């Protein structure tokens, strides 16, 4: 499972399919984000680049991947580095824009489904493959 294509087939696609079947599940959303985010490790292995470099490139190339990156880190660390807005700078916390409520206890997943779906498409394009059930 060292190649990106194989990782997508074995890990990302089934994890996304689980989220697709359970669109209201924060657990399934989190697992899908983490699985997609860690595709950078396989891409880095194949390309000989560091995962941090692949992550930076992919985040610039695809907003959907950047949002999945933010969410994977938000779920794990309570707040991603992208959400830390200095008090001196105006801004909307990305967690609110992605569906978290003010308390961080509830989440609206309707729009997040499409972000995750498009991130799956993006990583498949990077691998030169496609998800068998996504157009």
Domain region containing 40: 4-127
Work out how many domains the chain is built from and give that number.
1
Per-residue pLDDT tens digits for 95-113: 555 655 555 555 667 788 9
Instruction: Let me know if residue 135 belongs to a domain.
Output: no
Instruction: Let me know if residue 132 belongs to a domain.
Output: no
| CA dist., res. 68 & res. 76, Å (int) | 12
| CA dist., res. 130 & res. 73, Å (int) | 25
92 Cα distance to chain centroid: 20
Residue 98: strand pairing partners? none
Per-residue pLDDT tens digits for 37-87: 999 999 999 999 999 999 999 999 999 999 899 888 876 545 544 445 555
Q: H-type helices in 38-62, by residue range? A: 39-47, 51-61
Exposure of 6 in the CB half-sphere (CA atoms within 13 A): 7
Confidence of residue 16 (pLDDT cuts 50, 70, 90): very high
């Amino acid at each position: 499972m060292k190649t990106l294509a194989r990782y997508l087939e074995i890990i990302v696609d089934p994890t996304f399919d689980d989220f697709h079947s359970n669109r209201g599940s924060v657990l399934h959303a989190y697992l899908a984000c983490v699985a997609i985010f860690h595709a950078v490790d396989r891409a880095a292995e194949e390309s000989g680049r560091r995962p941090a470099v692949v992550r930076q490139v992919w985040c610039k190339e695809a907003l959907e991947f950047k949002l999945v990156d933010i969410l994977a880190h938000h779920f794990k660390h309570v707040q991603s580095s992208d959400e830390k807005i200095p008090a001196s700078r105006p801004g909307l916390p990305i967690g609110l824009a992605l569906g978290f409520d003010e308390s961080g206890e509830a989440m609206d997943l309707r729009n997040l489904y499409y972000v995750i779906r498009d991130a799956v498409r993006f990583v498949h394009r990077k691998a030169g493959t496609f998800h068998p059930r996504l157009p």
